[in-house]
Amino acid sequence: MQRAGSSSGIAQRHNLPRRKASTLPDVSRVDDDESEDRADDGDVPAVAGGRAADAAPSTQALPRTPAADDGGTSPERADDDSRAGGGAHPASADTYDEPTTDTGALSVRPPDKDVARRAAVRDQAVSAKPALARFLQVVVALFFPVIVVAAAVRAVATSSFLWLEYNRPGFPADQYGFSLDDRMTYGSYALDYVLNFAPPRYLGGLVTPEGAPLFLESEVGHMADVKSVLGLSFFIALVMFVLAVIACAYLARRYKGGIRRALFSGAVLTLVGIVVLTVLAVIGWETFFTQVHALFFADGTWTFRVDDTLIRLFPEQFWTDSAVIIALLVLGATIVTILATWPTRARRERSMLAQDAAQARYREALEAS
């Protein structure tokens, strides 16, 4: 086969004008034929000039470019339009318009009462020292001395302390025949009576080995008065303790550092009271002892003879030692509390940071509600 012959045959079948090597062939005729074929098939509508890219947009929604939204023409559209020989196409009826995002007209202002209430709650939340927190601090500070003194008295009113007293060196012996065992037995009955719920015959029914009543009727009546005073005092102290715990729980949650300040103030108040009472007791013990009994008991109901059972079981030395031990217990608890709650700089800073964090969380919760 000869290549020249085949080349000559091709040149005879296609009588096309010869072009320069750098010039592209004219394919407009081919494009027109393809466009017409597609138009006949229903795929793309025929457009003058045979360019499908310049046809009107179809019914399918197309995203709009920012330039089209602003009323301008993108560079690509302008280039296509210029090649098609026409200007910018008018917007089609099928063009997709994005919905507006302006919801300002939909906002409804809440009632003025609701707005005022929320503002008041926020102001209370960011307050440095809420009124309720300050009140609870005062309550805890005032309850602290009563609670500590009641706990110290309860620690002394036990058979263990009674045994220590009777067995300590220097404690006076009974001049009328009670042995150490007799004192422990009868004294324990007397202490148990003032702490339990037994009736007066708990003491009134006791008798000596000779069959005589151990306690006189006046003595039983005085012990009943002591029982009432101690029972009421312990009950009040217990109620104060429960209220103080509730107050401390609130302060721990809403006012950081409030517990420490309240306990410190209560301890200082207790310390001042101890100093005053100690000075009064040292200056005149007899007067102090008489005034304390006169404060709680009626005149003539708490004085007895030296040979009565109560005086033999609980001589003056017992009450002196009891007052000293109670004072030492209260003083020890007060000093420990003062040292544990002393307002140092580091403790104040920690309390301030914790309070700021708590207020921030509270404000966020209010805003989110």
The domain ranges of the chain are 132-368
CA dist., res. 119 & res. 113, Å (int): 10
Kindly list the distances between the CA atom of residue 319 and the CA atoms of 97, 156, 197, 291, in Å, as whole numbers in the listed order.
Answer: 97, 11, 24, 14
pLDDT tens by residue, 72-81: 444 444 444 4
Nearest residue to 161 (alpha-carbon basis) of 292, 1, 321: 321
Instruction: Please return the burial class of 262, using the count of CB atoms within 10 Å of its CB with bins 0-12, 13-18 and 19+.
Output: buried
DSSP per position, 50-64: S-GGGSPP-SS--PP
Higher pLDDT: 25 or 5? It is 25
Name residues whose C-beta falls within 8 Å of residue 163's C-beta, 6 or more positions apart in sequence: 184
Segment 290-309 shows an average pLDDT of 90
State both tokens at 190.
Answer: 């007397």
Mean pLDDT, the chain, whole residue set? 76
**3-state secondary structure at position 207:** strand
pLDDT above 50: residue 356: yes
Predicted pLDDT of residue 366: 65
User: Phi and psi (nearest 5°) for 57?
Assistant: -65, 145
CA dist., res. 172 & res. 265, Å (int): 41
Predicted pLDDT of residue 256: 76
Predicted pLDDT of residue 51: 44
At position 153, the amino acid (one-letter code) is V
CA dist., res. 178 & res. 165, Å (int): 15
CA dist., res. 281 & res. 218, Å (int): 27
CA dist., res. 154 & res. 233, Å (int): 10
CA dist., res. 267 & res. 339, Å (int): 10
CA dist., res. 310 & res. 222, Å (int): 10
Predicted pLDDT of residue 344: 80
| CA atoms in the 13 A half-sphere facing the CB of 116 | 3
pLDDT tens by residue, 257-280: 889 899 999 999 999 999 999 999
Lowest mean pLDDT among 14-18, 38-42, 247-251, 302-306: 38-42
Predicted pLDDT of residue 28: 53
Lowest mean pLDDT among 47-61, 141-155, 263-277, 304-318: 47-61
Predicted pLDDT of residue 59: 44
Q: Outline where 64-179 has alpha helix (H).
A: 66-69, 75-84, 112-125, 131-156, 159-167
Q: Which residues pair with 213 in a beta bridge?
A: 207
At position 35, the amino acid (one-letter code) is S
State both tokens at 102.
Answer: 């302006």
pLDDT tens by residue, 100-155: 555 544 456 667 777 677 666 665 555 555 788 889 999 999 999 999 999 999 99
pLDDT above 80: residue 166: yes
pLDDT tens by residue, 167-179: 999 999 999 989 9
pLDDT above 90: residue 363: no
Predicted pLDDT of residue 110: 67
Segment 270-296 shows an average pLDDT of 90
CA dist., res. 265 & res. 342, Å (int): 10
pLDDT above 70: residue 220: yes
pLDDT band for 182, please (50, 70, 90 cuts). very high
Predicted pLDDT of residue 313: 95
Segment 37-59 shows an average pLDDT of 45
Strand ranges (E), 173-218: none
CA dist., res. 46 & res. 301, Å (int): 126
pTM: 0.62
Residue 134 CA from chain centroid, whole number: 16
Query: Contact, 260 vs 347, CB < 8 A?
Result: yes
